[in-house]
């Protein structure tokens, strides 16, 4: 089954593939932006749409026994 992806969604998937299938949420802007060269930087909304399509998983923050909170990631499904 083919999934139609917007340009921003395609860019987000490419970013994940380039980063071995995972990216820290702290590296993702709140809103989709364009960088200095005019390239799309997908925001969290784009990744949420990909999650609804079943293509990525947005992980919840994990807290260890010492109270350290690990940075949540976005991963390829």
- pLDDT single digits (tens) 19-38: 999 999 999 999 999 999 99
- pLDDT single digits (tens) 44-71: 999 999 999 999 999 998 899 998 999 9
Whole-number Å distance between alpha carbons of 71 and 60:
9
pLDDT band at 3 (very low <50, low <70, confident <90, very high): confident
Instruction: Return the residue matching tokens 């089954």.
Output: 1
pLDDT higher than threshold 90 for residue 1: no
Whole-number Å distance between alpha carbons of 15 and 50:
13
Whole-number Å distance between alpha carbons of 50 and 73:
14
pLDDT higher than threshold 80 for residue 2: no
Whether the pTM exceeds 0.85: the reply is: yes
């Amino acid at each position: 089954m083919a999934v139609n992806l917007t340009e921003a969604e395609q860019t987000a998937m490419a970013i994940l593939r380039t980063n071995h299938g995972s990216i820290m949420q702290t590296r993702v802007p709140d809103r989709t932006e364009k960088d200095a060269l005019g390239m799309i930087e997908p925001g969290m909304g784009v990744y949420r749409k990909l999650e609804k399509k079943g293509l990525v998983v947005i992980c919840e923050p994990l807290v260890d026994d010492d109270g350290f909170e690990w940075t949540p990631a976005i991963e390829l499904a």
